[in-house]
Amino acid sequence: MIAAVEGKGRRVGITGVGVQVPEKVLTNADLERMVETSDEWIVERTGIRERRIAADDEAASDLAIPAARQALERAGVDAADLDLVLVATSTPDMLFPSTGAIVADAIGARNAAGYDTLAACSGFLYGLSQAFGLVSGGVAENALVVGTETLSKIVNWNDRGTCILFGDGAGAAVIEPVADGGFIGFELGVDATYGLDLCLPAGGSRHPTSAETVQNELHWVQMNGREVFRVATRLMVSSANDLLAAVGATIDDVDLYVAHQANQRIIDHAARNLGLPQEKVFLNIDRYGNTSAASIPLGLADALDEGRLRPGMRVLMSAVGGGVTWGSAYMTWSGERG
């Protein structure tokens, strides 16, 4: 799916961003004591130095709720006035009720619809496009999109190929009509050919939870890292190029590239092949690792805090993840309401 949206329907942008990460920091040195790895290998192969890990009693909604409240406060929107709460996550509190329902209730969004969307690392961009469509078309007046993950709960801590990569966190964005700027286009896709290269096999209807699935370790993330890496590098570039072409922009129009922080080598490869100079590339993977659906809103929030994202700037966001799903969004930053 590809759409140039500027000038069609209402102009819609992001008016507030919020984040929450768990207190516990897990460093590469900590991981050296858990699996056969080294700080040097992890930094060189991924760019990650540390990641946040949720407490035993901390679920995806516990991170999403404070992130949502902060985004609403920054946008100056009352939770009771929200029309939609959309949570993107691969680690919901439970399958149902949805984490969207739990978050909507906790923040007091009593007039909103609430649900989850599962598109793995592309989830936040999928969620943004859904929210955009509803607000732009006038079905909803506003929306809250949250990416929240507690991947530490589904990672096999004995598997060095995956446990060094993932981290926990949440980021939220308020979507509203704006006077200037806003979304320019979206490109989203899926290709299940590579689906099983990154999956969590059991616990669904294909392999319901049983003593056998637990014994066979089918409740942990399974990843063919090399294959996912290969596919991700290709799709990060093609998705962004296709979107820019569809909206009549070139890479020189982009002021800031906030990519899904999956692996610094994937981002470096994409930036190089897209023709983006280093100063336009936002990176925070060193602090958080790969936080899947939370990664892009965490990036937007850090870019704002660091003064690297200002009104009028053109922002390109791209992600590739489980499914395999991918997506890109292009927008002019319209600024937080405050």
What is the Rg, in whole angstroms, of the alpha carbon atoms belonging to the chain?
A: 19
Instruction: Provide the minimum distance between the beta carbon of 336 and ligand UT7 in the complex, in angstroms, as a whole number.
Output: 27
Work out whether 321 is an interface residue with ligand UT7 (CB under 6 A).
yes
- In angstroms, how far is the first alpha carbon of the chain from the final one? 33
Largest CA distance in the chain: 56
Work out whether 262 is an interface residue with ligand UT7 (CB under 6 A).
yes
Tally of CB atoms within 10 A around 280: 18
- Residue 204: helix, strand or coil by DSSP? coil
CA distance 135 to 105: 21
Number of residues that bind ligand UT7 (CB under 6 A): 22
Work out whether 229 is an interface residue with ligand UT7 (CB under 6 A).
yes
Instruction: Provide the minimum distance between the beta carbon of 201 and ligand UT7 in the complex, in angstroms, as a whole number.
Output: 16
User: Is 199 a residue of the active site?
Assistant: no
138 torsion bin: left (phi>0), alpha (psi -120 to 50), beta (else)? left
Q: Which stretch binds ligand UT7 (CB under 6 A): 81-89, 124-132, 222-230, 271-279?
A: 222-230
Instruction: Kindly compute the dihedral angle of the four CA atoms of residues 136, 14, 327, 243, in this order, to the nearest 10 degrees.
Output: 70
Residue whose CB is nearest to ligand UT7 in the complex, by number: 225
Q: Which stretch binds ligand UT7 (CB under 6 A): 65-73, 105-113, 224-232, 267-275?
A: 224-232
Strands 182-190 and 168-177: unpaired
Instruction: Provide the minimum distance between the beta carbon of 230 and ligand UT7 in the complex, in angstroms, as a whole number.
Output: 9
Choice among 121, 142, 163, 284 that is catalytic = 121
286 CB burial (10 A radius; 0-12, 13-18, 19+): middle
Cβ neighbours for 11, distance < 8 A, ≥ 6 positions apart: 136, 177, 178, 179, 180, 181, 182
User: Is 121 a residue of the active site?
Assistant: yes
Tokens of 205: 């209807």
- Kindly identify the residues of this chain, within the stretch 7-66, that bind ligand UT7 according to CB under 6 A: 37, 41, 45-46
Choice among 28, 142, 284, 290 that is catalytic = 290
Going through the chain in order, the beta strands assigned E by DSSP cover 2-4, 12-20, 24-27, 50-53, 84-88, 113-117, 143-150, 168-177, 182-190, 198-199, 222-223, 256-259, 314-321, 325-332
Q: Is the separation of the CB atoms in 63 and 170 below 8 Å?
A: yes
Choice among 28, 142, 163, 260 that is catalytic = 260
- Kindly identify the residues of this chain, within the stretch 69-88, that bind ligand UT7 according to CB under 6 A: none
Work out whether 165 is an interface residue with ligand UT7 (CB under 6 A).
yes
Among 9, 161, 177, 201, binds ligand UT7 (CB under 6 A): 161
Among 49, 153, 160, 207, binds ligand UT7 (CB under 6 A): 160
x-or-dash pattern for ligand UT7, window 85-124, by CB under 6 A?
A: ------------------------------------x---
Instruction: Provide the minimum distance between the beta carbon of 113 and ligand UT7 in the complex, in angstroms, as a whole number.
Output: 28
Among 99, 152, 263, 334, binds ligand UT7 (CB under 6 A): 263
Instruction: Provide the minimum distance between the beta carbon of 159 and ligand UT7 in the complex, in angstroms, as a whole number.
Output: 9
CA distance 312 to 321: 29
Among 15, 89, 290, 332, binds ligand UT7 (CB under 6 A): 290
Q: Which stretch binds ligand UT7 (CB under 6 A): 6-14, 86-94, 131-139, 159-167?
A: 159-167
Cis upstream peptide for 297 (omega within 30°): no
User: Is 219 a residue of the active site?
Assistant: no
- The count of residues in the chain is 338
Tally of CB atoms within 10 A around 202: 18
Nearer to ligand UT7, 120 or 135 (CB): 120
Residues that bind ligand UT7 (CB under 6 A): 37, 41, 45-46, 121, 160-161, 164-165, 198, 225-226, 228-229, 232, 262-263, 266, 290, 292, 320-321
Positions annotated as catalytic residues are: 121, 260, 290
